[in-house]
Amino acid sequence: MTSRERVQTVIDGGVPDRIPIYGWVRANLDGPISKAFGSCDAFEDHYEFDLAHLFGGPYPYPGLSARKADRPIEPAEALDLIISDPDDTAAYAGIAAGIEHHKTRRGRFVYVQTPGIFECLNDVFGIENHLMYLGLEPDTLREIYGRQALWNRRFAMNCLDLGVDMVHVSDDWGGQTGLMFSPRTWRTLIMPAHKVTCDAVKARGANLSLHTDGNINSVVEGIVELGFDVVHPWQESAGQSLTEHHARWRSHFAVMGGLDVQTTIGFGKLEFLRAEIERVMRIGADGGLLYCTSHFVQDHCSIEELTMAFDLIYDLSRRVTA
């Protein structure tokens, strides 16, 4: 199988020839990786990554910093914010270059990060105020979310037109033990706004993934209703069981994750790290898993530990069986 075929097989519920692998390593470890391998690109080539996570595109609120300079923005004021043009072709140059590098030249499955609703608008309000407004001003937020949803849909459609394999929606909802707001609030305010983009992506027959940290157990059924094909990271350190996913949810969506940056990699616990990598990869050996870090590997991870981990991941992906 090619990398793209391998990843698509997992998304479609099949059994790949080996577990697809990837890792979010660039953000904090570019320096040590480049010193050891020459570049992050060379690191990804060395370990034959099957996926690539692309960033870029227009930002919806270009004048936000100036508006926030004096005091927090309230919901009624947010409706007056100038929102950028999601069809600004020049803003997608970085995404197009990423597609060329990863998909065209290296045959990888490429997915692009697109805005969510709650996480995106935390930029506008600040997370503490935003959580307060969910309770105090739901009707105004519903209008703001609706406008953001239409913008997000255009962003996603433009990325599909460029040739990405999957639209990846980033919207953190979870804390360590549950949602940051009630499941009812999620279903009545946040879910309908997501449905705008989700329906449009699925109507085009494209793949759809969700990034949301933390414990999201109380809204998994809604995630299934929205049509997400992949969920990242399905965080075990926040009470999300991979074994339960395989037993209950695997037929609905694959997990992209497995290497927990909160508890596993970057702490010098090498035997524990080895054991966790092998445990998780055995769970996903027959499908359902795109093996990946749960988030960006943090800068307290040494290059020696990082390479040890990915040497093992590379080896196990090619020989582990369920």
DSSP string, 252-297: T-EEEEEE-TTTTTTSS-HHHHHHHHHHHHHHTTTSSEEEEESSPP
Q: What is the pLDDT of residue 322?
A: 64
Q: What is the pLDDT of residue 216?
A: 97
Query: Considering only CA atoms, which of 225, 227, 87 is closest in space to residue 156?
Result: 87
Domain 3-319: give its CATH architecture: Alpha-Beta Barrel (3.20)
Q: What is the pLDDT of residue 9?
A: 98
Q: Is the pLDDT of residue 64 over 90?
A: no
Q: Average pLDDT of the chain?
A: 96
| Identity of residue 116 | G
Q: What is the pLDDT of residue 320?
A: 85
Q: Is the pLDDT of residue 302 over 70?
A: yes
Helices 26-37 & 303-319 angle (0-180, nearest 10): 90
Residue ranges covered by each domain of the chain? 3-319
Q: What is the pLDDT of residues 137-196, one digit of tens each?
A: 999 999 999 999 999 999 999 999 999 999 999 999 999 999 999 999 999 999 999 999
In degrees, rounded to 5, the angle at the alpha carbon of residue 91 between the alpha carbons of residues 85 and 95 is 130
The number of beta carbons lying within 10 Å of the beta carbon of residue 62 is: 13
Dump the DSSP string for 18-74: S--B----HHHHHHHHHHHHSSHHHHHHHTT-SEEEE--S--S-TTHHHHTSSSPPP
Q: How far is CA 116 from CA 33, 51, 149, 196, 211, in A?
A: 30, 21, 8, 11, 9
Q: What is the pLDDT of residue 121?
A: 96
Q: What is the C-alpha separation between 263 and 259, in angstroms, rounded?
A: 9
Edge-to-edge strand ranges of the sheet holding 51-54: 51-54, 109-115, 166-170, 207-211, 230-232, 254-259, 289-293
Tell me which DSSP letter residue 232 carries. E
Q: Is the pLDDT of residue 202 over 80?
A: yes
For residue 207, what are the contacts with CB-CB under 8 A and spacing of at least 6? Answer: 8, 11, 111, 165, 166, 167, 201, 229, 230
Confidence class for position 66, pLDDT limits 50, 70, 90 = low
Q: Is the pLDDT of residue 272 over 90?
A: yes
Q: What is the C-alpha separation between 188 and 48, in angstroms, rounded?
A: 42
Section 70-95 average pLDDT:
93
- Whose tokens are 């092998």? That residue is 278
Q: Is the pLDDT of residue 5 over 80?
A: yes
Q: What is the pLDDT of residue 68?
A: 64
Q: Residue 233: in which H helix or E strand, if any?
A: none
Among left, alpha and beta (phi > 0; psi -120 to 50; other), residue 35 is alpha
Q: Is the pLDDT of residue 65 over 90?
A: no
C-alpha torsion 54→56→60→64, nearest 10 = 120
